[in-house]
Structure 1
Amino acid sequence: MKKISLTIFISGTLLFTGCKKWLDVKPEGQTTKDEMFQTQKGFRDALTGAYIDLKSDDAYGRSMTWSTIEYLARNWDNTGNYADINSLVNATYTDASVKSMIEKIYAKEYKVIADVNSILEKIDAKKDIFQEDNYSLIKGEALTLRAFAHFDILRLFGTMPDNPGTSPILPYAKAVSKDIIVLLPYDEFAKQVLADLDAAEALLKDVDPIRLYSLLELNPVLNSSAIPPVSDDYYMYRQIRMNYYAVLALKARVYNWLAPRDASNRANAAKYAQLVIDAKDHFGQPVFRLGGLSDVQAGNPSFPSEHIAAVNIYNMKTVAEAVLGEPGLLARSDFNYQDGYYYLNNLFPVAERVADARWVNMWAYKTSTGQTSYVRLKKFAQKDLDATNQIPLLRLSEMYLILTECAQNKADAEGYYSFYCSKKGIPFTAGFSAAGWEADRKNKMIREYVREFYAEGQTFFTYKRYNVATLPASWTAAYYTATVARYIVPKPDREYNYLNK
């Protein structure tokens, strides 16, 4: 088997954290690795460090949600006419600037993995130091983070899911070690992702506070008069942790990714998606709710009621305005004319957009001098500093789309999609085309993923999963073209040392 000289280890120092509330945590000092893992608090702090890396600019605080990965999907125009962005949009992976962007993503994903591996290598031997359910919670979240990061490495750098081949391609890092990590074939790599998720599911199932209390109870910022049901802040804000339902949702996503070559994967994807949809809190109310136009009108355009897992950006209002607002570069220039393809007008046809929650009050022309032909997305615009400071990683909408994709017959597919459309404000009265309904479903699903998850990093992966060579003719086929070479992003060609500093 092929090997890669990829060094992932902890040396010298690890960050530790102090906080009033978990979501406001920032690194404040250092302690040695051995000292850190002598206490429950040390393990908690190490896990918090992993979440901090997860939400960094080179990961899901920017590159893997609304920036780099969205340029690869051509969801943004090169509004500043920068040469490096032009190379990125064109997937010129040999360009030095593009290589640097990709290397930073690769390094940060494996940095998150190194963070949690440092926990996982110590936690079983220290099981006796944990109080209440902290052992199961911390280990379960660490395993889920490891699976989440590895899976996106597979989605970005792996071969095509419909024909992945049998050659070793990527390292699945399960230990903190200076040793060479063996490259695994595609299917074996995917099995490791699912094995971590199986273990995490078993650990979190009976102890995760998200199954014991409602999200309203666990988020006092949403209900300031409520008395939190737990005295420890570490158990709060589960929607910005890798919680039990995030495990199920991620399983649905993984199995759906693997579905093209195995019908049993399609059945598993549907099973786990349904489990998330059916989740109820101890009041008997759904844990998650599909967002709609009323959420946008209430100032919640990212649909926080759907967030199964998310990263918290404490200064979200400032960050969102800088990248997506008036001064930001992330914008489109073809709202009415520009490139002749009318991309957004095709993505959201005039006849369908009247009540579409992804359209109404979501897009606006810029008003700055020299920018008035550009359109910005307001999905993450904050009404105030205390609004929901979250970029979603997993959302309930995806679970309904997975059920639609995985349905075995036309009636079931239409049933799932009709319910979804009724909540999103999309007209869907005639059903899928009687002639070739599966092709119609496919085209609608591709478009739905783009519309629903714009600026959330899912478009490129949707195109790759379907091996989209060009967009459906009904919504501007000429705008986007791709070959397999665009979808298989080359791995960095140099060694990495990952130090938790």
Structure 2
Amino acid sequence: SYIIKDLETAASLLLTVDPVITEGAKNYGEEVGSNDMNYRQYRLNYFAINALMARAYLWSGNTQKAGEYARTVIEKVSDKNTPLFPLIDADYMEANSDRVFSPEVLFSLYNTSRPDVVYKTLFVPTLATTSILTMAGDLATGRVNETYDDKNDYRYRMWESTVENNREVTYFIKYMDETRTGSEAYRYMIPLIRMSELYLIAAECETNVQTALDKYFNPLRFSRNCVNQNASSAEELKSLIRAEYVREFIGEGQLFFYYKRNALQHIPDGGTVNSIKNISLDSYVFPLPDSETSQRAE
């Protein structure tokens, strides 16, 4: 409740002053004066706060309020004439090598170490098998192949393979440095909350399965260049949403919280091709840091 209260206060304070409401991301510098009100994707702006409200309500189990906030943000930023944070489309992907889909990111980190430290420390194919962060198996037959139901999916392009030391290595290129013609604002971007999460929240919180598919789930799939999917029950839709979370947020740290929120005790084992990992519920609870507990009175 304290989190919700803080977010409500922040939203009310920004409602009349945040330029993101009329101008969107504003990812450009000013020749004269301050950039304090520019680069709104790297600052906790009005729409990002409302998106966090949807997330917070969903995590607390209030699907009615979560759906309400998700739908409201979607409606406000998706005007066809002046879209502020549009889902990416075929034209955008043809013109850009943007693998974080930056136009739809509401809030993110700006990390200048992304290409030279994050990528090279965790994902480059020359890393030892004990060091590289990847999925098990070859690209064509391994865990990556199982994860993407449609190989036209733009997210499938985040994976490549090569041969290192006489073995095929599947590796993740989402955070690899961009081939640039200018100073693209997304070069150092690590997304924290994006429009696609709101579409999935809205779909999950919609009481009518067909409406959830038509208005939120399949439009998101369409933006990823994937075929529509169908569900005849809420359980089938939930299963589709779960699979979409796996594809959508790889490398962004959201899947753990989806699993935790749903108390899932059997999840895919990324270290093997088709095995399941058993997780105890207490594994989702991290201990408090020593710095927060060491001064407690005995």
TM-score tier (shorter):
0.7 to 0.9
Match of 1:459 among 244, 249, 255: 255
Q: In 1, Cα distance between the equivalents of 2:59 and 2:69?
A: 13
Would you say 1:277 and 2:112 are equivalent positions? no
Aligned to 2:235: 439
Give identity over the alignment, percent. Answer: 28
Rounded Cα–Cα distance in structure 2 between residues aligned with 1:271 and 1:229: 40
Q: Which residue of 1 aligns with 2:58?
A: 256
- The question of 1:478 aligning with 2:275 is answered yes
The two structures have a TM-score, normalised by structure 1, of 0.51
Q: Is the 8 A contact 2:97 2:179 kept in 1?
A: no
Alignment partner of 1:373: what SS? strand
Query: How far is 1:402 from its partner?
Result: 0.4
Aligned to 1:346: 146
- Corresponding residue number in structure 1 for 2:136: 333
* Cα RMSD after superposing both structures: 2.8
Q: 5+ unaligned residues in a row in structure 1: which ranges?
A: 1-190, 222-227, 260-264
Runs ≥4 in structure 1, deviation > 6 angstroms?
none
1:345-402 per-position Cα deviation (integer Å, ceiling 9, x unaligned): 22113xx22x21111x2101144336x4331111122224733120000000000000
Give deviations 1:11-38, integer Å, cap 9, x for gaps.
xxxxxxxxxxxxxxxxxxxxxxxxxxxx
Question: Of 3, 7, 10, which aligns to 1:200?
Answer: 10
> For residues 207-241 of structure 1, what are the alpha-carbon distances to aligned partners after superposition, in whole Å with 9 as ceiling and x for unaligned?
012124243xx2226xxxxxx59842111101100
Question: Do the aligned residues in 2 keep the contact of 1:293 with 1:357 (CA within 8 Å)?
Answer: no
Specify whether residues 282 and 438 from structure 1 end up closer, same or farther in structure 2 by C-alpha distance, changes over 3 A only.
Answer: closer
Pairwise CA distance, 1:321? 3.3
Partner of 2:34: 232
Q: Which amino acid aligns with 2:254?
A: Q
Partner Cα distance (2:124, 2:115) in 1 = 10
Q: Given the alignment of the two structures, is residue 219 of structure 1 paired with residue 27 of structure 2, yes or no?
A: yes
In the alignment, the residues of structure 2 paired with residue 418 and residue 271 of structure 1 have an alpha-carbon distance, to the nearest angstrom, of: 19
Amino acid at match of 2:2: Q
User: Which of 34, 38, 47 is the matching residue for 1:245?
Assistant: 47
Asked if the contact 1:321/1:327 (under 8 Å) is kept, the reply is no
TM-score by structure 2 length? 0.84
Aligned to 1:287: 84
Q: Which has the larger radius of gyration?
A: 1
Cα distance in 2 between the residues matched to 1:195 and 1:495: 24
- What residue number does 2:205 align with? 406
Is 2:245 aligned against 1:449? Answer: yes
Give CA deviations for 1:91-112 in whole Å, capped at 9, x if unaligned.
Answer: xxxxxxxxxxxxxxxxxxxxxx
Q: Deviations over 1:469-500 (max 9, x none)?
A: 2248xxx8733321212212222356469xxx
Counterpart Cα distance in 2 of 1:380 and 1:423? 20
Sort the Cα spacing of 1:481 and 1:242 in 2 relative to 1 into closer, same or farther, 3 A.
Answer: same
CA shift digits 1:259-317 (9 cap, x unpaired): 2xxxxx21111111122212249995111111245544421010001110001112432
Q: Which runs of 5+ in 2 are unaligned?
A: none
Structure with greater contact order relative to length (CA < 8 Å, sep ≥ 6): 1
Q: Structure 2 CA distance, aligned partners of 1:244 and 1:412?
A: 27
